[in-house]
A and B are shown apart, each in its own frame.
Chain A
Amino acid sequence: MSYYFAVIGTQDNPLFEYEFGTSKQGGDGQSRFTEQAHHLNQFVLHSSLDIVEEVQWMNGQLYMKVIDKFFTNYISCFMTGGSVKFLLLHQPSATASGTASATRNSTSVGANPTSPQTEEAIKNFFSEVYENYVKAIMSPFYKVNMEIRSPVFRQRVAAAGRKYL
């Protein structure tokens, strides 16, 4: 299971990105995206922004669950009170390749991207990131819609990833 997480500003500008792998079921926390996917991920995420625009009015929730799917990439979304978007692309490891890690993953949180367990895990991840995002933007030297360069924030996103995903 590999994850690509991004924070998108109100002008659809990227503020932060972080790539990681599952830490559940013995995962080592490293992402397993292919070289190609690295580049594709950004594109896939951004192309789902239009869908966010539509979905956000459907319910009053900050967490919008899986809003888009592109082949084996699933996109979950969360929107802050200030209309900043958190997007998480999750990609279950390719089962066809049959590697050791892939078989382990079949029982992991992310194996079924739309299961209630996965939705809940991602919700928890987003909530913790949100908590820390608010702290990061409360710092007086941070300007709204500016890239988040805080190493503390990065560490905390990583920690949230390890904890829930």
Chain B
Amino acid sequence: MASSKASRLGEEYVWRTRMDKVNAELVVLTYGAMVAQLCKDFDSDYVKVNQQLDKMGYNIGLRLIEDYLAKSNTFKRCSNFRETAEMIAKVGFKIFLNITPTITNWTSDGKQFSLVFDENPFADFVELPDDGRAQDELWYSNILCGVLRGALEMVQMQVEAKFVSDVLRGNDTTEMRISLIRYIDDELPPEDD
């Protein structure tokens, strides 16, 4: 139920608005040039690069959620985390990146799932540096984890999001793992960082 509704919402939006499309190469190049610049800034300390990307994504997510709520026409709160997952994959990703990652690998308590990306508009043409470390340490698309973390925090969900595999590293799939830590009851303003 929730699943088909989410798909419909995503499709509807794309159809209704003729979505402002940004040139794909421009996206790849811009994101890529930024990541490459960070690698240079941090002297190829990829752990720091991952952190920085996550942080940038977080700051984007905090604000992107408004845009999402406005564009998606969803006025209703998700009734559970499974529904949240559906909305992220089929509405959120559809609206902003025109992709629909697959939801999979739920834990039995319904608090953890994976998003598997068959396509990743940030990663076309990308080959990681062949310094023998990037393949093991850099999560190239890590900004996406931060975006989800920031966006969900604004709707009272504290989550942890991290990549567990990436085709750029030679893995078979690109998979992000999302875990619900807790629902935030008291409405604290988000930390400024």
By a CB distance below 8 angstroms, the chain A residues around B31 are 140
Alpha-carbon distance A138/B33, docked complex (angstroms): 10
Q: Are A149 and B28 interface neighbours, CB within 8 A?
A: no
* Contacts beyond the supplied A138-B124, A140-B126: 10 A-B pairs with Cβ under 8 Å: A135-B125, A136-B125, A138-B125, A139-B125, A139-B126, A140-B29, A140-B32, A140-B33, A141-B32, A150-B127
Among B29, B32, B127, residue most surrounded by chain A Cβ atoms (within 10 Å): B127
By a CB distance below 8 angstroms, the chain A residues around B28 are 138
Binding site for A on B (CB under 8 A): 25, 28-29, 31-33, 35-36, 39, 124-130
Alpha-carbon distance A111/B88, docked complex (angstroms): 60
Q: Which 5 pairs from chain A and chain B are nearest by CB?
A: A140-B32, A138-B125, A140-B36, A139-B127, A141-B129
Within the complex, the shortest CB–CB distance from B86 to chain A, in Å, comes to 32
By a CB distance below 8 angstroms, the chain A residues around B29 are 138, 140
Interface residues of A: mostly helix, strand, loop or mixed? loop
By a CB distance below 8 angstroms, the chain B residues around A142 are 127
Work out how many contacts link A and B, with CB atoms closer than 8 A: 31
By a CB distance below 8 angstroms, the chain A residues around B130 are 149
Q: Are B128 and A141 interface neighbours, CB within 8 A?
A: yes
Within the complex, the shortest CB–CB distance from B139 to chain A, in Å, comes to 15
Chain A, residue nearest B32 (CB): A140
Chain A, residue nearest B124 (CB): A138
A152 part of interface (Cβ distance < 8 Å): yes
Among B125, B126, B130, residue most surrounded by chain A Cβ atoms (within 10 Å): B125
Alpha-carbon distance A83/B43, docked complex (angstroms): 31
Q: Are A138 and B25 interface neighbours, CB within 8 A?
A: yes
